[in-house]
Amino acid sequence: MNKLSLFGLLRLVISRDLMLAMRRRADVLTTLIFFVMVVSLFPLGVGPELGMLRKMAPGVVWVAALLASMLSLGRMFSADYLDGTLEQMLLAPQSLSVLVLGKILAHWMLSGLPLVLMAPVLGLQFDMSVQSLWVLIASLLLGTPVLSMIGAVGAALTLGLRGGGVLVSLLVLPLCIPVLIFGTGAVEAAASGMSVASHLSLLGALLVLALVFTPWVTAQALRISME
Partner 1 sequence: MLEISNLACTRGDHQLFSGLSFSLSEGELLQVQGENGKGKTSLLRMLCGFLAPAAGEIRWRGQDIRDLDEEYYAEMVYLGHLNAIKDELNALENLRIGAGLAGCEVDDKEAIAALRHMGLRGRETLPVKVLSQGQRRRVALARLLVGNAPLWILDEPLTALDVGAVGLMQELIGTHLAKNGMVIFTTHQPLEVAGVETRRLTLA
Contact pick of 7, 45, 51, 91 for partner 1 (by CB under 8 A): 91
Q: How many residues bind partner 1 (CB under 8 A)?
A: 28
How far apart, in Å, do the first and last CA atoms of the chain sit? 32
- C-alpha span between 113 and 88 (Å, rounded): 28
Q: Applying CB under 8 A, does 161 fall inside the site for partner 1?
A: no
- C-alpha span between 17 and 9 (Å, rounded): 12
Q: Applying CB under 8 A, does 27 fall inside the site for partner 1?
A: no
Q: Applying CB under 8 A, does 92 fall inside the site for partner 1?
A: yes
Per DSSP, 73 falls in state T
What b-and-e string marks burial along 7-17, b requiring 16 or more CB atoms within 10 Å of the CB?
eebbeebbeeb
Q: Applying CB under 8 A, does 23 fall inside the site for partner 1?
A: yes
Q: Which is nearer to partner 1, 146 or 222 (CB)?
A: 222
Per DSSP, 1 falls in state -
Q: What is the contact mask toward partner 1 in residues 36 to 75, using x (rule: CB under 8 A)? A: ----------------------------------------
Q: Which stretch binds partner 1 (CB under 8 A): 5-13, 47-55, 180-188, 203-211?
A: 5-13
- C-alpha span between 68 and 183 (Å, rounded): 16
Contact pick of 20, 32, 63, 211 for partner 1 (by CB under 8 A): 20
Query: Do residues 108 and 148 lie in contact, with contact meaning Cβ atoms separated by under 8 Å?
Result: yes
Query: Which residues contact partner 1 by CB under 8 A?
Result: 1-4, 8-9, 12, 16, 19-20, 23-24, 82-85, 87-95, 99, 226-227
